[in-house]
């Protein structure tokens, strides 16, 4: 599938983007390991989250739905999973693979985790190393890539792990393995990362401590079923936050968006660039802060992105690169090596697309310099990355010529119905099946 986009347009109206992907994944994982029935609303019915559902069904968990965002999970307890009959296919979902590797390291049975071509190129050494320190037996393909073979029946022991780089997925993997370890398991972060795992564990009645950046828990506890209302995903909202910021005359309200303080880097960065963002109706739902966000067009200026905001906006940078392309002056990003090992090398992929559209940029080892300018048109290669595809779709709002975005099939991993919602809000987009 490809997106075809006519230049120009105004973004206006009200919308609720799909549910948060990170929280949707974790609701299935912890609901499956809890005692009792967990009910989830607002669940993201995208391919990544559905891969997590399929994995737990393959391990004997009774899951009803998702239907209309509603899911019911009959928990089997921490030690109730059954051996899967075959390899667990995570599709394109790095979150599923990294978090499940932690959970599976503590099981009494052997398991194998695999995925699609893109996922099987992504580095898993960052989770394999701490798991081996805990006593797990994990084998990978050459270079630390999937498939992962995890040997069951290992006696895990709690460790203290200093994260070499800020990563919520690695932190979560270690903490989830810690549920099955003897003693305390703790993780020190070099910078704060999204804390959905810690919040949700507490929601399931499991004690998690956070003392001056050291997150710790003790193995051997129990999870009690609960109800979870998944907020709209700020990573998905980011495309429309940028879209309304760059298209003159735009005025948009995004409702029920998760505004967890470990995820709002995109809001902070856009405000530093001069965006007109207002949070309304701020509240807490199931332990997660939520708000409605109003965004109106405003001229943006290039900035040096503060290093402390980088981990808080790591998934939103493709959209922010489009904001930078439409800003006056230059925008500089450093400290974002993590972007090199996402679904694609997002620095290289975005740089190539920006160059195609006539935007001057310089690629750095850990970031990029983008000089704001006039966007032209052209054909964009997404490298099968959903966030690259959606980012160049919104670029059309300020383009002077038509844009074609190739290989958009993976958009449904995180944002099913993106093109229909975008069209309803004012983007001149059509999807064409190859």
> Which residues are marked as active site?
315
The owner of tokens 């109800």 is: 227
Of 307, 345, 303, the closest CA to residue 324 belongs to 303
Residue 182 forms beta bridges with which residues? Answer: 157
Cis peptide bond prior to 66, omega within 30° of 0: yes
9-27 burial: b if 16+ Cβ within 10 Å, else e: bbbbeebbbbbbbbbbbbb
Q: How far apart are CA 152 and CA 150, in angstroms?
A: 6
Structure tokens given for 232: 């709209």
Asked if 354 contacts 361 with a C-beta cutoff of 8 angstroms, the reply is yes
Contact in structure between 429 and 393 (CB atoms under 8 Å): yes
How would you classify the pairing of strands 361-364 and 367-371? antiparallel
**Helices 317-326 + 265-272 axis angle, to 10:** 10
The span from the CA of 44 to the CA of 258, in Å, is 13
Structure tokens given for 206: 């499991």
The values of phi and psi at residue 70, to 5°, are -100, 130
**For the packed helices 234-246 and 265-272, what is the interaxial angle rounded to 10 degrees?**
20
Enter the tokens of residue 289.
């802060």
DSSP 142-157: TTSPSPEEEESS---B
Which helix (H) or strand (E) element contains residue 291? strand 288-296
103 contacts: CB under 8 Å, gap ≥ 6: 29, 33, 176, 177, 179, 180
CB contact at 8 A, 6 and 402: yes
**Among residues 389, 342, 351, 353, which one has the least CA distance to residue 369?**
351
Residue 128, number of CB atoms within 10 A of its CB: 21
Structure tokens at 269: 């960065």
On whether the CB atoms of residues 322 and 394 are closer than 8 A, the answer is yes
């Amino acid at each position: 599938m490809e997106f075809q986009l006519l230049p120009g347009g105004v973004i206006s109206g009200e919308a609720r983007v799909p549910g948060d992907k990170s929280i949707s994944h974790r609701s299935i994982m912890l609901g499956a390991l809890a005692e009792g029935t967990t009910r989830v609303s607002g669940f993201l019915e995208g391919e990544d989250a559905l891969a997590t559902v399929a994995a737990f069904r393959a391990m004997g968990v009774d899951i009803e739905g998702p239907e209309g965002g509603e899911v019911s999970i009959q928990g089997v307890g921490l030690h109730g999973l059954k051996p899967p009959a075959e390899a667990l296919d995570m599709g394109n979902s790095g979150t599923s693979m990294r978090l499940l590797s932690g959970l599976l390291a503590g099981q009494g049975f052997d398991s194998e985790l695999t995925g699609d071509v893109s996922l099987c190129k992504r580095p898993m050494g960052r989770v394999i190393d701490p798991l081996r320190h805990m006593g797990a037996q994990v084998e990978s393909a050459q270079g630390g890539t999937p498939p992962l073979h995890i040997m069951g029946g290992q006696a895990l022991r709690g460790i203290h792990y200093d994260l070499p780089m800020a990563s919520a997925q690695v932190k979560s993997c270690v903490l989830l393995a810690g549920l099955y370890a003897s003693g305390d398991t703790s993780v020190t972060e070099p910078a704060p990362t999204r804390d959905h795992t810690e919040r949700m564990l507490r929601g399931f009645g499991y004690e998690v401590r956070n003392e001056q950046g050291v997150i710790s828990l003790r193995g051997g506890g129990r999870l009690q079923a609960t109800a979870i209302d998944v907020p709209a995903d700020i990573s998905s909202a980011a495309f429309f936050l940028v879209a309304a910021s760059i298209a003159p005359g735009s005025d948009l309200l995004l409702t029920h968006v998760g505004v967890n303080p470990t995820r709002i880097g995109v809001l902070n960065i856009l405000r530093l660039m001069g965006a007109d963002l207002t949070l309304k109706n701020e509240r807490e739902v199931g332990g997660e802060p939520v708000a409605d966000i109003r965004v109106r067009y405003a001229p943006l200026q290039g900035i040096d992105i503060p290093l402390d905001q980088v981990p808080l906006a790591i998934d939103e940078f493709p959209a922010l690169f489009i904001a930078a392309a439409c800003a006056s002056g230059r925008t500089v990003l450093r400290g974002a090596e993590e972007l090199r090992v996402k679904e694609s090398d997002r620095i290289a992929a975005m740089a190539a697309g920006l160059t195609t559209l006539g935007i001057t940029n310089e690629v750095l080892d850990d970031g990029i310099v983008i000089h704001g300018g006039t966007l032209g048109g052209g054909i964009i290669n997404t490298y099968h990355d959903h966030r690259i595809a959606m980012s160049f779709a919104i670029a059309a709002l300020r383009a002077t010529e038509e844009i074609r975005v190739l290989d958009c099939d993976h958009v449904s991993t995180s944002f099913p119905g993106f093109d229909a919602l975008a069209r309803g809000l004012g983007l001149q987009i059509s999807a064409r099946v190859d």
